[in-house]
Amino acid sequence: MSPTDEIPAAAPLRDKLRKLGLERRLDLVLHLPLRYDDETKLTPLAGAPVGQPLQIEVLIVEISLKPAPRRQLLVTVVEAVNGGVPIDQRDSLVLRFLSFHGSQLRILELARDQGRRLRVFGEIREGFFGLEMVHPRYRVIDESCEQLPVALTPVYPTTAGLSQTALRRLIGRARSETDLSEILDAGWCAAHALPSLADALAVLHAPPPSVDTEVLNQRAHPAWRRVKFDELLAQQLSLRRAYLARRRQAAPRLALLNDLTDRLKATLPFVLTAAQHRVVHEIALDLAQAYPMQRLLQGDVGSGKTIVAALAACQAIAAGYQVAFMAPTEILAEQHYLKLRSWLTPLDVEVVWLSGRQRQSAKRLSKQQTASSAQLIVGTHALIQDKLDFARLGLAIVDEQHRFGVMQRLELRRKGGNPHQLMMSATPIPRTLAMSYYADLDVSTIDELPPGRTPVRTRLFAEHRRAEVIDRLRQSVARGRQAYWVCPLIEESPKLELQAALDTYAILSGELPELRIGLVHGRLKSADKAATMAAFVAGEIDLLVATTVIEVGVDVANASLMVIEHAERFGLAQLHQLRGRVGRGVEASVCVLLYQPPLSEAARARLKVIFQHHDGFEIARQDLQLRGPGEFVGSRQSGVPLLRYADLNADGDLVELAQQLAGQLLCDDPDRATRHLQRWLGRREELLRA
């Protein structure tokens, strides 16, 4: 039976299965239980625990139909084992059904009249009228099914109109018809305490009586580990293969040594840190290859990624190619534009600004230049979204790449042939996550900050001490420093968030009449935004009131105080990014987190982490622990991982193992790798080849 074998089913059933992502017989076999119910034993009704799934065997003593206020069916039952004689009130139980069919009612009535037993599975709870079970699973016992099952009962993820019983039957049939011959080396599996796939699946679909329900439900059983490993291996293989495939494509070789790079270095008012030197070199070597670079430049906030990118740009420009430089927000893109222009125009590089918000005429001109003479094009993702022709794109640089979706990353790859790609991110992600999300990239890391920075001191203030904060702000500005005031984040409503920013601006203007105060928020026209930012950079504004538009990348060295209002609403990564906006000069900086008590447990934990830690990687690690990986990389990234069972946080050791074996298989036994991929990903792998 081949892995592409489709499930033979009529159209309505096929549609339901497709909703579950099940197309092949094999998909059914790899469709694994959410949890297990223990139907192997009966619990005596007397003293049965409340709030736990359990199975009882009962006789029906009464059936009543309640027409109002809500039609429902109430079935009073008593313990069956002692002949149905209720010992006391406590031993009777009401089964309550809010929706039911007439046929169901008739079957129950028949069972009552014939005195037949009912086997019921559910959770007892304290109802309004005593103990009850709402919508339990039940079955009238006849001769043929008197025996209790010997194995735990798997409960599968399903969809409306597809019962567990039907799904179980389909899976059972598919299992008997599917070839599960082992793909991995048996000795290797044994050495890593992993059972064969066939054995693992047998345990997971039909656990033997000896298996502990808890261990299975926690997914800690070796059978689960094998499945998770296989899945991670498929992910590694497919990302790695996509990486290798792109390596076989052609890209322009950009000569390593060039005058432009040297001239830019010579004009800088600082010397590169050792870490910057190292990554500049890694990137430069990559650009000189005949295949497209696919590199991620990781570095904490303020580590100086922009200059590294600019040096890479010089290498491409010197070789006669164009460079596209994209940032996720207008403000950030504009800052980059201004900075790059100030660095490169004196060196006679033609730098062009392109944004979705530009006036038509300006935009048309920028596009024309992009199609002809422009050497560096800076902008937002208008660069990939618009119909835009590059004359000869050699390098694409994407700042804060985690803000862009995977699809946009792929899109860029298709733009202008096969440009070299440099992605930058200040969101450090823990190793096991990185291995998974960035397995298709080479990674360079800047692991040191430029010298002379004084660490930012973080202070926590409850809202009622706001007056003290305002005082501090006044003093700081009196000493010639600048400050940010970050307005509350209101995720559920951009409109309310804007209003909050306007209110804050008005209040602060009233409280601090002697200060020059500016306001930036996402709804501002880009020219106004740019003007305000430029005034802040030039020191003509003392206090910049802002929404989170300043979260990424903004760089004003003289700003040494940041106040974040309602800090408890922000995520850890955001707080770290925001705080990174200060502490960029030699002046000691302070970040004040104003919070509104009482704090939720989660908010308290976050504020504690941000108070105690400054290192982005450590904060990311703690963030992962607090939140789990699902949310971590953001929903926009979630198209790629292809993981249903493995948990990148809990199964870190398996990720490493999978990465090792993936490398080995692709090298030594590509056919085996292909078979594994087909088994686990089927069509889904195409997503990655795009």
Residues that bind ligand ADP (CB under 6 A): 270, 272-273, 276, 299, 301-307, 426, 450, 553, 555, 557, 584
CB of 600 to ligand ADP, least distance (A): 30
Residue 404 or 595 having the CB closest to ligand ADP:
404
Residue 350 or 555 having the CB closest to Mg ion:
555
CB of 400 to Mg ion, least distance (A): 7
Residue 405 or 553 having the CB closest to Mg ion:
553
Which residues have a Cβ under 8 Å from the Cβ of 128 and sit 6 or more positions away?
none
CB of 631 to Mg ion, least distance (A): 23
Are 326 and 398 within 8 A, CB to CB? yes
CB of 218 to Mg ion, least distance (A): 41
Q: Which stretch binds Mg ion (CB under 5 A): 256-264, 441-449, 476-484, 553-561?
A: 553-561
Residue 187 or 452 having the CB closest to ligand ADP:
452
Which of ligand ADP, Mg ion, none lies near 276, with the C-beta cut-off 5 to 8 A by kind? ligand ADP
Cis previous bond, 3, omega within 30: no
The secondary structure element, H or E, covering residue 218 is: none
Within 13 Å and on the Cβ side, how many CA atoms surround 82? 12
Which of ligand ADP, Mg ion, none lies near 450, with the C-beta cut-off 5 to 8 A by kind? ligand ADP
Residue 316 or 559 having the CB closest to ligand ADP:
559
Structure tokens of 277? 């030197």
Structure tokens of 546? 């802002």
Q: Report how far Cα 679 is from the mean position of its chain's Cα atoms.
A: 25
Cis previous bond, 49, omega within 30: no
Crossing angle of helices 222-247 and 652-668, in 10° steps, is 50
Q: Does 553 bind Mg ion (CB under 5 A)?
A: yes
Helix (H, G, I), strand (E, B) or coil at 479: coil
CB of 227 to Mg ion, least distance (A): 40
Q: Does 53 bind Mg ion (CB under 5 A)?
A: no
Residue 426 or 661 having the CB closest to Mg ion:
426
CB of 570 to ligand ADP, least distance (A): 18
Which residues have a Cβ under 8 Å from the Cβ of 22 and sit 6 or more positions away?
7, 28, 31
Q: Which amino acid is at 635?
A: S
Q: What is the CA radius of gyration of the chain?
A: 32
CB of 464 to ligand ADP, least distance (A): 34
Which of Mg ion, ligand ADP, none lies near 213, with the C-beta cut-off 5 to 8 A by kind? none
Which of Mg ion, ligand ADP, none lies near 303, with the C-beta cut-off 5 to 8 A by kind? ligand ADP
Closest residue to ligand ADP, based on beta-carbon distance: 304
Residue 299 or 419 having the CB closest to ligand ADP:
299
CB of 309 to ligand ADP, least distance (A): 8
In angstroms, rounded to a whole number, what is the distance separating the alpha carbons of residues 690 and 678?
17
Which of Mg ion, ligand ADP, none lies near 307, with the C-beta cut-off 5 to 8 A by kind? ligand ADP
CB of 124 to Mg ion, least distance (A): 58
Helix (H, G, I), strand (E, B) or coil at 530: helix
In angstroms, rounded to a whole number, what is the distance separating the alpha carbons of residues 194 and 231?
13
Which of ligand ADP, Mg ion, none lies near 394, with the C-beta cut-off 5 to 8 A by kind? none
Cis previous bond, 598, omega within 30: yes
Residue 37 or 551 having the CB closest to Mg ion:
551
Q: List residues bridging with 154 in a β-sheet.
A: 36
> Of 213, 236, 36, 206, whose CA–CA distance to 651 is shortest?
236
In angstroms, rounded to a whole number, what is the distance separating the alpha carbons of residues 437 and 424?
14
Helix (H, G, I), strand (E, B) or coil at 657: helix
Residue 301 or 517 having the CB closest to ligand ADP:
301
Interface ranges with Mg ion (CB under 5 A) = 553
